[in-house]
Amino acid sequence: MIVTSARWGLVLTVALLTAVGCKSQDTPPAKKAPAATDKGAQAAKPGTEEDKDPVVELQKACDGGSVAKCVELGDFLVDWKKDPDAARPHYKRACDIGHPNACDKLARLDNPPPKPTGDFGSTASLESACRGGDAATCNDIGLFMIRGSNGFDANKAGAKEYFELACSEGYSEGCNNLGYMYEIGDGVAQDQEKARDLYATSCDNDNVDGCAKLGFLLDTGQYHVQDKERAEAILKKACDKGSLQGCTNLGVVRITSLRDFTGAREAFDKACDGGHMRGCTKIGLMHYFGDGTEEDHAKALEYFDKACKNGSAGGCVGVGLVHKDGKAVKKDEDKAASLFEEACSQGNERGCKELERMGLR
Which residue has better confidence, 311 or 270?
A: 270
127 pLDDT higher than 60: yes
Tell me: the pLDDT tens digits for 56-96? 777 877 776 666 678 778 877 876 677 888 888 888 887 77
Task: Write down the pTM of the prediction.
Answer: 0.60
Half-sphere CA count of 274, side-chain side, radius 13 A: 21
The answer to whether the beta carbons of residues 167 and 198 sit under 8 Å apart is yes
For residue 261, the one-letter residue type is: F
Mean pLDDT computed over every residue of the chain = 78
How many Cβ atoms are within 10 Å of 310's Cβ, its own excluded? Answer: 17
Q: Which of 131, 196, 201, 137 is nearest to 170 (CA)?
A: 201
Contacts of 155 (CB under 8 A, 6+ apart): 19, 22, 34, 36, 145, 148
Across the range 2-15, mean pLDDT stands at 36
